[in-house]
Structure 1
Amino acid sequence: GGGNKDPQPYKTQVMAEQDAELETIYPVTIKGKEDIEIRPRIDGFIDAIYVDEGSVVKKGQALFLINSPSATQALTTAQAAVESAKAQVNTAQVNVDRIKPLAEKGIVSHTQLNMYDNSLLSAKATLAQAQAQLSNAVATVGWTKVSSPVDGVVGAISYRQGSLVNSANVLTTVANTSNVFAYFSLNEKALTEFLSNLEGKTQAEKIKNAPEITLTLADGTVYPEKGKLETITGVVNITTGSANFRAEFPNAQGHLRSGTSGKISIPRTLHNVFVIPQEATFAQQDKTLVYKVQGDSVVQKTITAYSTPDGKSYAVTEGLVAGDRIVLAGVATLSNGTKIIAQ
């Protein structure tokens, strides 16, 4: 509109600095804190599979039973060896008990007594060795039961009942999901912006002071527990221009499954900014502009602004100063130099 029409009234507002709470949303992939490979410690056939893929298991819970004929055989042999060694100790002890009084009376020589003493020591050593082998054999038979080393969720089961397996085979994985990590990445610009909003001198300090993080699951539900920002890979990946982060979330109830996706929002506070309604702005090319009141007319001003979580306002960081008056609504009817009645 040129200057020929009568000036129309427009709602305006004077800029005053304030803080604005923003949040940034990132897509994330959720992974168990560690995915532990479950392997048998002995060779044998799978006799039983006690769990299904996706089962929630406790530490120490049996997952598989391995039938190992060689382990059973070794146990039987070791038990027999212990019995035999015990008998030899008994015989040697009887001989010592028989010879000792005779040697004391000088009927037989001390050399002969020493010989029997040595036989007893040797028999006891053989027994100790046999007992150690029996303990090993018992432990090995114990390995026929393959248990979960952690609380977690069972992954894909690669073998079926009757399969022949050995210690090189991964039977399944258990994802330790008592805590989970949500992985996400930031491009260089977002990373710089993100770090500049955190308190602290070093990157590590900034991460420690990062606010708590909210996780929204794929179905839109907000996860009740808050997460903590954990680590950044120290370098920005040159090819993708992004840095990888992870946030840790407690998962005592086991609701978060390894491999699922969601999104996280990280809150950040902007200080000394101007909060204006989005309808006070308009776009030209890739710039955001407002109309600033000057005297009885308006001029276009380019601003730098960030969307607020409600989606209705902008936090303006550049382009305006305290005391500036801007037009709040109806900007589509204005152009540079339009005369208005500011309200």
Structure 2
Amino acid sequence: MKKIIIFSIIAILFIAVLIWFGKMNSKPPVSFDTEKPFKTSITKKTVATGKVTPLEEVEIKPQVSGIIDKIYLEEGVKVKKGDLIAQIRVVPNEQALSNAMGRVNKAKIQLNNSEISYNRNKKLFDTGVISRREFEQFELDYNQAKQDVIISQNDYQIIKKGSVSSSGMANTNIRATVPGTILEIPVKEGDQVIESNNFNAGTTIALIADMTKMIFEGKVDESEVSKIKNDTELEIALGAIADKKFPAKLTFIAPKGTEENGTVQFTLKADVNLEDDYFLRAGYSANAEIILEQKDSIMAIREALLQFDKETDKPFVEVKKGDQEFEKKDVELGISDGVNVEILSGITEEDEIKVWNKAKGKIEEEQVEE
């Protein structure tokens, strides 16, 4: 009885082994695809983010302090040099006004005294009592006194009204100093403004710029700035205008970088070539594609075919030696665009490179099991 049980167990084990071998033989063999190097052109680019701004922006500031009495133009209006933008109502300082009036009265008193002296000595000169030289001094004092009265009265008018009525030009009138488009009027009627002087930049009444001359201003990382040169051709893509790129030429690279979020960024500026069909507004966000390096008709492979040695970190590929037999070959890499990479040495155009992450048998087996 025991022998029967033992032979039964052996028979079952034998059948199981046969079934296992049958399944193993039924699995498809693992095979890998291959690819050959190819000739192509590779362009390495970087992207600088920034915005489009006018080449020059002019701030219009008042010559006198006061309150905005009237604003005549709106933002977006094109102006010529001398166009009236706004008018200021002067609110004089009481102390300064009182001092100016005091100077006027003092000048009139001096004029009255000089006039009396002039008239008295003129009679003496006419009768020959005094010489002409002595009389000319009294005449000079009289003329200077008349001029002092005029000057003091003008000072009083400037403090009170902001300008002299006889001058023909009122400092209270804010006019465009350059032709262009009004980008911004940061004040409104009733606002108090401060004049521009040696100690104060003054209040900006309006911002004017020539919108026919636009530049791109952006930033690029320090790792790429050394590869960029002036006069490099760029392509500017605007977020506000889809499917359109504007050509530009690099004109400025900042000699000093600024640290932002742990990386050093350098400012770039480029002249943008505008088209009549498109109107670019100041402040549009933009990206500039900059060509760092470009090579034509070079031998390359897909970057997905590369492998890297775990110890030396050197790149290599597996080249077909026989039927599903591959040989490891180190390669020297050149320029890359993230998809294709240049091969400088290590393989030839006739070599068949293993697509190491695609095994036909394995994929088919997984699909069958699913």
In which range does the TM-score fall when normalised by the shorter chain? 0.5 to 0.7
SS at 2:148 equivalent: helix
Give % identity. 16
Task: Work out whether residues 48 and 161 of structure 1, in 8 Å CA contact, stay in contact via their aligned partners in 2.
Answer: yes
Tell me, yes or no, if structure 1 residue 186 matches structure 2 residue 220: yes
1:171 maps to 205
Task: Work out whether residues 182 and 207 of structure 2, in 8 Å CA contact, stay in contact via their aligned partners in 1.
Answer: yes
**1:230 Cα offset (Å):** 0.6
Q: Say which of 305, 308, 316 aligns to 2:342.
A: 316
Max radius of gyration: which structure? 2
CA distances 1:178-202 after superposition (whole Å, capped 9, x unpaired): 544433333343x2xx52x45xxxx
CA distances 1:90-118 after superposition (whole Å, capped 9, x unpaired): x89x9699659835xx3x32276345433
**1:156 Cα offset (Å):** 4.4
Q: Say which of 109, 130, 133 aligns to 2:130.
A: 109
Q: Quick check: 6-15 or 139-148, which moved more?
A: 6-15
**Residues 288 and 232 of structure 1: CA distance in aligned 2, closer, same or farther (over 3 Å):** farther
**1:216 Cα offset (Å):** 1.5
* d(CA) in 1 for partners of 2:38, 2:68: 77
**1:234 Cα offset (Å):** 2.0
* d(CA) in 1 for partners of 2:37, 2:306: 20
1:307 maps to 337
SS at 1:227 equivalent: strand
* d(CA) in 2 for partners of 1:27, 1:184: 5
TM-score by length of 2: 0.57
Tell me, yes or no, if structure 1 residue 212 matches structure 2 residue 233: yes
Give the paired residue count: 296
**1:264 Cα offset (Å):** 0.7
CA distances 1:223-282 after superposition (whole Å, capped 9, x unpaired): 54523241225246275213222223257879333321011111233459835364x844
Q: Which 5+ residue runs of structure 1 have no aligned equivalent?
A: 199-206, 336-343
**1:65 Cα offset (Å):** 1.6
* d(CA) in 1 for partners of 2:125, 2:245: 83
Q: Say which of 265, 279, 290 aligns to 1:243.
A: 265
Residue identity matched to 1:148: A
TM-score by length of 1: 0.61
Q: Say which of 280, 287, 296 aligns to 1:263.
A: 287
Residue identity matched to 1:306: S
* d(CA) in 1 for partners of 2:237, 2:154: 56
After superposition, the CA RMSD in angstroms is 5.1
Q: How does 1:54-65 map to 2 (within 5 A)?
A: 54-65=76-87
Q: How does 1:1-343 map to 2 (within 5 A)?
A: 12-13=36-37, 20-33=42-55, 35-68=57-90, 102=126, 106=128, 108-110=129-131, 113-114=135-136, 116-123=138-145, 125-126=147-148, 129=151, 137-138=163-164, 142-167=170-195, 168-175=202-209, 177=211, 179-189=213-223, 191=224, 194-195=225-226, 197=227, 207-208=229-230, 210-218=231-239, 219-235=241-257, 237=259, 239-250=261-272, 255-270=279-294, 274-276=298-300, 278=302, 281-282=304-305, 292-293=319-320, 298-299=326-327, 306-307=336-337, 314-316=340-342, 320-321=345-346, 323-327=348-352, 333=358
**Residues 181 and 113 of structure 1: CA distance in aligned 2, closer, same or farther (over 3 Å):** same
Residue identity matched to 2:175: S
**Residues 109 and 259 of structure 1: CA distance in aligned 2, closer, same or farther (over 3 Å):** same
